[in-house]
Chains A and B, each alone.
Chain A
Amino acid sequence: MPAVTQTREAVEKLGQSSYKWGFETDIEMDMAPKGLNEDIIRLISSRKEEPEWMLEWRLAAYKTWQAMTEPKWAKVTYPPIDYQDAHYYAAPRKKPGPKSLDEVDPELLRTYEKLGIPLHEQAMLAGVEVPEGERMPVAVDAVFDSVSVATTFRKTLEEAGVIFCPISEAVREHPDLVRRYLGTVVPAGDNFYSALNSAVFTDGSFVYVPKGVRCPMELSTYFRINAKNTGQFERTLIVVEEGASVSYLEGCTAPMRDENQLHAAVVELVAMDDASIKYSTVQNWYPGDENGRGGIYNFVTKRGICRGARSKISWTQVETGSAVTWKYPSCILQGEGSVGEFYSVAVTNNRQQADTGTKMIHLGRNTRSTIIAKTISAGHSDSTYRGLVRVQPKASGARNFTQCDSLLIGDQCGAHTVPYIESRNMNARIEHEATTSKISEDQLFYCRQRGLSEEDAVGLIVNGFCRDVLKELPMEFAVEAQKLLQISLEGSVG
């Protein structure tokens, strides 16, 4: 695979080590005033044309949130966030839906272009029919700030009975489904950020795959933060019925900022008997400058429940962005023989801080979980892996395998591994392995003697280190992820 060539090209395109996707799109915004109170929540709810129950739900979450305090246990530090000093709603000006590419705001198309969204996908965003190639088509639900600007491939999905739409639309069009599942995996009061999200979430995706259906395409969302000082509170809910399956891709980039931006998404996954959900993320939000100024704060709650027997939930993530990351995609393994997987690469450079990991909660018998976490730290960054494996008394025969590997580049950075293992069943088998290594001078010199530049050598070694995770990503994402890894480590050696 010509990964390194592509990486090289990507790096060359960068020119200087500035953030490639740091630009701002000038589209007129419809924006709520700064601050958070019941009126703002009512405004959001009315803008979204939500039913009454949804507004009640939000207001209840808001009350819960008001009684909570920000968690401080993670190994990250950042200045206090003034929650009243942000806008909680922003939407690009509503226009009638584009009928052809010409009708789409050229500014928006240029944004997609800069994001590297392939042309055919840009066309898809505009609803233009594209002949199907050999590869699996990708459907894109673009979250442009708080409103989904376009949703594509509706027809193919509709024919399969799959629902893939903005959550706000689902609230209106599929209220029963949303009401049945929303907040069942991550209750509003689960934590400070989930409560905040529940009160003010403005968009995100809803996916419903009916019984026995293999979703005919990979579902993809490009997230993007675009309005100044707009906190992003996406809400994603994916429900996969008995014997059905879906692969969901989430990727994002963000424009350059002076002020830190808060991002607190909630993702909930529900898998019934024999269902499978694969959720892949490539996260590349603006990490701040080399002093950490201006980066995104990413406080996410992602959790899936394997409700059904033999169901499977697999999280794969490549995290290179954000100034501060607080994120623990988790699996509740309730169904007998259900399977949870977590494959993660977290890269921190300069002043980035990441506290991430996973939780595997074994409730059912013969449940299995696998955790492969690769942490790469460079510059003055600090990275912590925090993983919980809990086996409840009824989970006889539960098995977990955890592998945590840290790679340090330079000697100014830190990497920490904090495993929590709680087994309440004698029959459970839990294995934990951890390693810490450095890119050695020997390795760099060996590669350079063979003609590779230092940056290419680092890229190759880092990609090798992450291979077990990268191979879990869908092909197109894997290529993008490899580029990202190298770009985010640029200038970290030598």
Chain B
Amino acid sequence: MSQFLEISGLCAQIDADGQDKQILRGVDLSIPPGEVHVIMGPNGSGKSTLSYVLAGREEYVVTAGSATFHGQDLLAMEPEERAAAGLFLAFQSPIELPGVNNANFLRTAVNAVRRARGQEELDAVAFLKMAREAAKALSMAPDMLKRNVNVGFSGGEKKRNEVLQMTLLQPTFAILDETDSGLDVDALRIVAEGVNRLRAPTFSALVITHHQKLLDYLVPDRIHVMARGRIILSGGPELARQIDQEGYTKFLAEVA
């Protein structure tokens, strides 16, 4: 199997007040190139933790299992190496960086990954042109680039800013952690279009969501249900519709 993203038996824990707290309990997941996969599941089941572990957040200690990306051992890489390799995480709660100009941050990030990928760095003029176009496509106000990263942004603005970063960093694998939460219908469509523009045979996404609405626009390939730190069920797009109508309870009961 020369897969794009391979996760197998992944277990992770965190130190919670001096106690090891097991969160991921053997996640198996395989995503081929060009596909959009969805993870659904009740709150607290470990969806965000999975995305953090894949992105390299050090607080979460991997105790077993593996994750490879393009055949490389993802878990051995630094977070910035993973970013350079093409992994992007749209945070469920984007972080504020006081005093850091959004455009400056974006350009620093874009040039960091371009350098790491052996591409030429962008000068300020070329970058701003690109950033303005991308922001416009996401219906973001032009002043969003001048403001400090996520500081004073509304919930919806933060989510769009994540998609803007994704657009500019051109990942080959994007994880979107509840990027649709708290968005109105129009914003939802705009964000979905932002993801769809990246779709290509070499691009895959892992979308964490609770809502069918986003999936109407994204048209996913596979749906996975996560509970208590495991993928308990996988299926086609119809599974999401079923969950939307019937909730998780039934599925949880089935595997219990």
Contact = CB atoms under 8 A, between A and B. Distances in A.
B165 A463 contact: no
Contact of A451 (B97, B100, B112, B124): B112
Contacts of A466: 99
B99 A465 contact: yes
A408 to B, nearest CB: 15
Q: How big is the B interface, by class? A: 35 or more
Nearest to B150: A446
Interface in B36-72: 55-59
B76 interface: no
Interface in A175-202: none
Contacts of B95: 440, 442-443, 445-446
Interface in A437-494: 440-443, 445-454, 456, 460-461, 463-468
Interface string A1-12: 111110000000
Nearest to B82: A449
Nearest to B85: A451
B165 A464 contact: no
A448 B59 contact: no
Given A441-B59, A445-B57, A450 B99 contact: no
A451 B106 CA distance: 10
Contacts of B113: 450-451
Contacts of B24: none
Interface string B16-43: 0000000000000000000000000000
Nearest to B148: A464
A449 B97 contact: no
Interface string B108-149: 111111001000010010000000000000000000000010
Nearest to B79: A448
Contacts of A445: 55-58, 79, 95
Contact of A452 (B58, B91, B101, B108): B108
Contacts, number: 87
Contacts of A446: 91, 94-95, 97
B128 to A, nearest CB: 12
Interface residues of A, number: 28
B99 A463 contact: yes
Nearest to A437: B98
Contacts of B73: none
B80 A451 contact: yes
Nearest to A457: B80
Contacts of B100: 460-461, 463-464, 467
Nearest to A441: B59
B98 A456 contact: no
B206 interface: no
Contact of A464 (B59, B97, B109): B97
Contacts of B169: 450-451
B124 A450 contact: no
Nearest to A494: B58
B78 interface: yes
Nearest to A443: B95
B218 interface: no
B89 interface: yes
A96 B79 CA distance: 59
A441 B111 CA distance: 23
Contacts of A468: 99
Given A448-B79, A464-B98, A453 B112 contact: yes
Contacts of A456: 108, 112
B188 interface: no
Nearest to B112: A451
A461 B105 CA distance: 10
Given A445-B57, A449-B83, A460-B108, A5 B121 contact: yes
Given A445-B79, A446-B91, A464-B98, A452 B104 contact: no
A68 B210 CA distance: 74
Counting from the closest, the 3 A-B pairs by CB-CB distance are: A464-B99, A464-B100, A450-B109
10 contacts: A445-B79, A445-B95, A449-B55, A449-B82, A451-B113, A453-B112, A456-B112, A461-B97, A464-B101, A465-B99
Interface of A: 1-5, 440-443, 445-454, 456, 460-461, 463-468
Given A445-B58, A447-B97, 13 more contacts: A442-B95, A443-B97, A445-B55, A449-B56, A449-B91, A451-B83, A451-B84, A460-B100, A463-B99, A464-B97, A464-B148, A465-B98, A467-B100
